[in-house]
Amino acid sequence: MKQILLFSLICLISSFNLFAQQKIALQIEASPNYSFRTFKNTSDLNISTDDENKIGYSLSLKSSFSIIENFHLISGLEYNNKGFKTTMIYFDEQDNEIQTIGTLDLIFLDVPLYLGYQFKFDKFYLSPVIGISYGRLIGLKSRYDNEKTSATKDEIKNSGFNRDVLNLHGGFELGYQISDKIGFKMEPKVDYTNTDLNKGKDNLIKENLYIIGVNIGMIIKI
């Protein structure tokens, strides 16, 4: 994953170096989303789950650079609340085992690198967007019944979750230019955490995340 981080940082720095020569637009976005866990079973084990979709959100500050006509490169930072609902086990004060559906929040700081192509119609534009992002796990929270817990930095580091992940992104931007400098955008999106959530190279059961949401935000041209 160190190679992924290095690649992402190089791409991010390279994209910002375009500032002196190309048009740039800042994008301030927020997105409600659903995320859910998927399993890839490479063993003979039978697995079942009571997983449910989790409602989350993302907040991002991105820059869009025009590289050639109609093509633009998008990069920046995104705070992403992902995760899933699943059966959790805990013990009450009498040491009785309790099973309940709980929510696991996985908080990532993502560095995206996306490519889009704009179809322009006067003040409107449509733009399919594809790309990848590097994600760093910075928060781990669980919620069940009336209990909430938050992991410390050391607990996150020592947990069974991968701290570095690679995400695939696909979206479709719909934009409207309010004025020469200000615009509005909406982007239905699907993200897929391509990296196994769990540490280890030879896991018999691999877990990944799907995130479905809609980025909504403002575009400010510089």
The predicted-structure confidence for 138-172, as pLDDT tens digits, reads as follows 999 998 887 889 999 999 999 999 999 999 999 99
Instruction: Tell me the C-alpha distance between 112 and 76, whole Å.
Output: 6
Evaluate if residue 3 carries a pLDDT over 70. Answer: no
Half-sphere exposure of 214 (CA within 13 A, CB side): 5
Name the band, by pLDDT with cuts 50, 70 and 90, for residue 49: low
Name the band, by pLDDT with cuts 50, 70 and 90, for residue 11: low
Name the band, by pLDDT with cuts 50, 70 and 90, for residue 19: very low
pLDDT of residue 131: 97
Evaluate if residue 17 carries a pLDDT over 80. Answer: no
Q: Give CA separation, 107 vs 51, 52, 134, 151, 153, in Å.
A: 18, 18, 13, 11, 12
Give, for 15, the enclosing helix (H) or strand (E).
helix 2-16
How many whole angstroms from its chain centre is CA 166?
Answer: 9
Q: What are the sequence ranges of the domains in the chain?
A: 2-221
pLDDT of residue 10: 52
pTM: 0.83
pLDDT of residue 18: 43
Evaluate if residue 62 carries a pLDDT over 50. Answer: yes
What letter does residue 189 receive in the DSSP assignment? E
Share of the chain above pLDDT 90, in %: 59
* Domain 2-221 listed as CATH 3.40.50.720: no
The predicted-structure confidence for 95-120, as pLDDT tens digits, reads as follows 777 788 889 999 999 999 999 999 98
